Amino acid sequence: MVDEKKLFVNIHGHRQANNVQEWVLRSLMASQYPPDDIEYGHYSVGFHPYNVGKFDEQDTLNKVRLSTENPNVFAIGEIGLDKSIDVPMDVQKRIFEKQVDIAEFSDLPVILHVVRAFNEMIEFMKAHNPSVPMIIHGYNGNREMAADLVKAGFLISFGEAIAKDNTKVIEACKEVPLDHMFLETDEGEMDIREVYFTAAELKEVSLDQLRVQIVENVKNHMPKFAGIF
What pLDDT score does 229 carry? 74
Confidence band for 5, pLDDT divided at 50, 70 and 90? low
Whether this prediction's pTM lies above 0.85 is answered by yes
What pLDDT, in 10s, does the model give residues 111-158?
Answer: 999 999 999 999 999 999 999 999 999 999 999 999 999 999 999 999
pLDDT in tens, 61-106: 999 999 999 999 999 999 999 999 999 999 999 999 999 999 999 9
Domain ranges, ordered by start, for the chain: 4-226
β-sheet with 110-115: strand ranges across: 8-13, 22-29, 42-46, 73-82, 110-115, 134-136, 155-158, 181-183
If one counts every other C-beta atom within 10 angstroms of the C-beta of residue 6, the result is 12
- The mean predicted confidence, pLDDT, of the chain is 96
Euclidean distance between CA atoms 22 and 3, whole angstroms: 11
**Is beta strand 22-29 parallel, antiparallel or unpaired with respect to 73-82?**
unpaired
Q: In angstroms, rounded to a whole number, what is the distance separating the alpha carbons of residues 185 and 166?
A: 16
| Distance, CA of 126 to CA of 56 (rounded, Å) | 30
pLDDT at 209 over 90: yes
Chosen CATH of 4-226 out of 3.40.50.300, 3.20.20.140, 3.30.200.20, 3.20.20.10: 3.20.20.140
Between 149 and 1, the higher pLDDT residue: 149
pLDDT confidence of residue 24: 97
pLDDT at 227: 85
Band of the pLDDT at 27, cuts 50, 70, 90?
very high
- pLDDT (0 to 100) of residue 226: 87
Residue pLDDT, tens place only, 179-198: 999 999 999 989 999 999 99
Average pLDDT rounded to a whole number, residues 199-208 = 98
Question: What pLDDT is stored for residue 72 in this prediction?
Answer: 97
pLDDT of residue 2: 55
H/E segment holding residue 13: strand 8-13
Angstrom distance (rounded) from CA 213 to CA 89: 36
- Please give the pLDDT value at position 57: 97
| Whether the predicted pLDDT of 1 surpasses 70 | no
Helix (H) or strand (E) holding 62: helix 57-67
Q: What is the pLDDT of residues 33-65, one digit of tens each?
A: 999 989 999 999 999 999 999 999 999 999 999
Q: Computed over its alpha carbons, how large is the radius of gyration of the chain? A: 16
pLDDT at 73: 98
In this prediction, residues 147-176 reach a mean pLDDT of 96
